[in-house]
Amino acid sequence: MSFNKDFIWGSATSSYQIEGAPFEDGKGLSVWDTFCEVPGVIKGNHNGNIACEHYHRYKEDVALMKELGLQAYRFSITWPRVMPDGIGKVNEKGLDFYDRLVDELLEKGITPYVTLFHWDYPYELYKKGGWLNNDSPEWFAEYTKVVVDRLSDRVQYWFTQNEPQCYINLGHCDGTHAPGLKLGVRDVLQCTHNSLLAHGKSVATIREFSKLKSFVGAAPVGICYIPKTETPADIEAARKATFAVNDTRIWNSAWFMDPMFLGEYPEDGLKLFEKYLPKIGANDMKIINQDLDFFGCNIYSSPYVNSGLNGEPEFTAQKVGADLTANKWELTPRGLYWGPKFFYERYKKPIIITENGLSNVDWVNLDGKVHDPQRIDLMHRYINEFNRAIKDGVDGRGYFAWSLMDNFEWAEGYNERFGLIHVDFETEKRTIKDSGYWFKQVIETQGKILE
């Protein structure tokens, strides 16, 4: 069961979910700062103003990462902390924070994996139209260069964007996430195209200006489907469902990933969206289709399908009494087999699981410890399935647990706990959970304890 000696084990966070300090040291507003000011949009009217106080407690947190034995840490940078207006003036104090964080990680032997955008879009650019503005790809490239100029003498691993399906659909279609818009299909497609162009320009900027050899990818939602049975017909139905574009909400993989990796939008999507498509420039697809070093994907819960009429995917209803996490996501470990397998077949890039984990019912027990056997069991099952995919030929390079610590969970506020480390949000006390110590053993044995 052991993994290749070069396989990377880490954990991940995002800036707005942990940093706090939204108004300190010259930081500008993000759309999440302003969205959380709207009564009722976040459970309990919570916000990320304090969160985990990581901005002030990063040294303590890096020490905990070292105690967990993490080899790598994926974190995101707050765009308006670095550039308060999104473009133009650079906030040196904001950059200094990430300077110090990177240095602290390297001092502790932990490799930094930087995500440039994890949803906290600059509010000043949102007022100019945000992703609807055709200048937004240039804005993102300008921001990328500022970060690369400062950090690339020590950082080699980069992700341009995290989960575009979420910040586009939940933020611009459903309105349940920042900036809280409910746009029509035409505008959502324009936002998507501009965010893809931003990704491409960001990759090109990293390649051009990085001081060290760079390794670049993205971290989309790995939306995938699991065959109900491992028969050829059901496997093909699951593969087809994974890459189908058949809903104007564009909650899928191919509309976002095919342009990045194949340089074209999928044919079924072009037909579906024909009358809504934005103007696509002559060089747009070339800009989007930059050469990437790996395929990052966040996978949690995946639906089942079987082969129906004429081999078309038929979605299997969730079984009565299904195994569910605290936030009601079904336990589906085989998603970490079939997702990487399908994505590797189609895009032919090494796979990194950039997020995986669960929301659990965790608290500090009378003995002062946090016992979370469900998290251990879930991660054990999912990692085993990823290992099975690797043994069946998938080039799997790493696994990042979500999340390093309990944090602000977007529209759910502080009502969901995903961390390997428990956080008491009144005192900010950190307590490593049983799962954290278990994950440390996984890392130390390079997965051998999973046998």
C-alpha span between 257 and 222 (Å, rounded) = 10
Residue 195's pLDDT is what? 98
| Structure tokens belonging to residue 23 | 């108004």
Structure confidence by residue, pLDDT tens digits, 334-353? 999 999 999 999 999 999 99
| Structure tokens belonging to residue 73 | 């840490």
What's the average model confidence in pLDDT over 392-402? 98
Instruction: Please state whether the predicted TM-score (pTM) of the whole model is above 0.75.
Output: yes
Residue 267's pLDDT is what? 98
Structure confidence by residue, pLDDT tens digits, 64-77? 999 999 999 999 99
What's the average model confidence in pLDDT over 211-236? 98
| Structure tokens belonging to residue 410 | 């977007």
User: Who contacts 407 (Cβ-Cβ below 8 Å, separation ≥6)?
Assistant: 13, 14, 17, 18, 51, 52, 418, 419, 423
Q: Are 192 and 183 in contact (CB under 8 A)?
A: no
Domain 8-450 is in which class?
Answer: alpha beta
Q: How many residues does the chain have?
A: 451
- Kindly list the distances between the CA atom of residue 14 and the CA atoms of 17, 159, 329, 341, in Å, as whole numbers in the listed order: 6, 12, 21, 27
Place of tokens 């966040």: 298
Residue 428's pLDDT is what? 98
Q: Does 88 have pLDDT greater than 80?
A: yes
Cis peptide before 403 (omega within 30 of 0): yes
What's the average model confidence in pLDDT over 26-37? 98
Q: Does 2 have pLDDT greater than 80?
A: no
What are residue 397's phi and psi, to 5 degrees?
Answer: -110, -20
DSSP-derived secondary structure letter, 411: G
Structure confidence by residue, pLDDT tens digits, 48-63? 999 999 999 999 999 9
What is the 3-class SS of 198-234, one letter each residue?
A: HHHHHHHHHHHHCCCCCEEEEECECCCCEECCCCHHH
| Continuous segment of H or E residues that includes residue 150 | helix 136-151
- Average pLDDT, whole number, for the chain? 98
Question: 417: which strand partners?
Answer: 360
Structure confidence by residue, pLDDT tens digits, 106-139? 999 999 999 999 999 999 999 999 999 999 999 9
C-alpha span between 250 and 169 (Å, rounded) = 8
Residue 95's pLDDT is what? 98
| Continuous segment of H or E residues that includes residue 92 | helix 92-107
- Kindly list the distances between the CA atom of residue 116 and the CA atoms of 145, 171, 199, 218, in Å, as whole numbers in the listed order: 11, 18, 10, 10
C-alpha span between 212 and 156 (Å, rounded) = 6
Place of tokens 């969160």: 51
Place of tokens 């480390």: 421
C-alpha span between 350 and 67 (Å, rounded) = 28
Residue 24's pLDDT is what? 98
Q: Which of 19, 104, 355, 409 is flagged as catalytic?
A: 355
C-alpha span between 153 and 129 (Å, rounded) = 34
Place of tokens 């990328």: 144
DSSP 344-390: HHHH---EEEEE----B-----TTS-B--HHHHHHHHHHHHHHHHHH
C-alpha span between 92 and 25 (Å, rounded) = 9
pLDDT band (50, 70, 90) for residue 451: confident
Closest residue by Cα to residue 304 from 229, 379, 389: 229
C-alpha span between 371 and 26 (Å, rounded) = 40
Structure confidence by residue, pLDDT tens digits, 255-312? 999 999 999 999 999 999 999 999 999 999 999 999 999 999 999 999 999 999 999 9
What's the average model confidence in pLDDT over 349-365? 98
Residue 317's pLDDT is what? 87
- Kindly list the distances between the CA atom of residue 184 and the CA atoms of 189, 250, 426, in Å, as whole numbers in the listed order: 9, 12, 41
Q: Which of 163, 385, 409, 416 is flagged as catalytic?
A: 163
| Structure tokens belonging to residue 380 | 């054990």
Structure confidence by residue, pLDDT tens digits, 158-208? 999 999 999 999 999 999 999 999 999 999 999 999 999 999 999 999 999
- 92 in catalytic set: no
- 312 in catalytic set: no
C-alpha span between 284 and 282 (Å, rounded) = 6
The domain limits of the chain are 8-450
What's the average model confidence in pLDDT over 225-235? 97
| Structure tokens belonging to residue 328 | 């009601």
Residue 1's pLDDT is what? 64
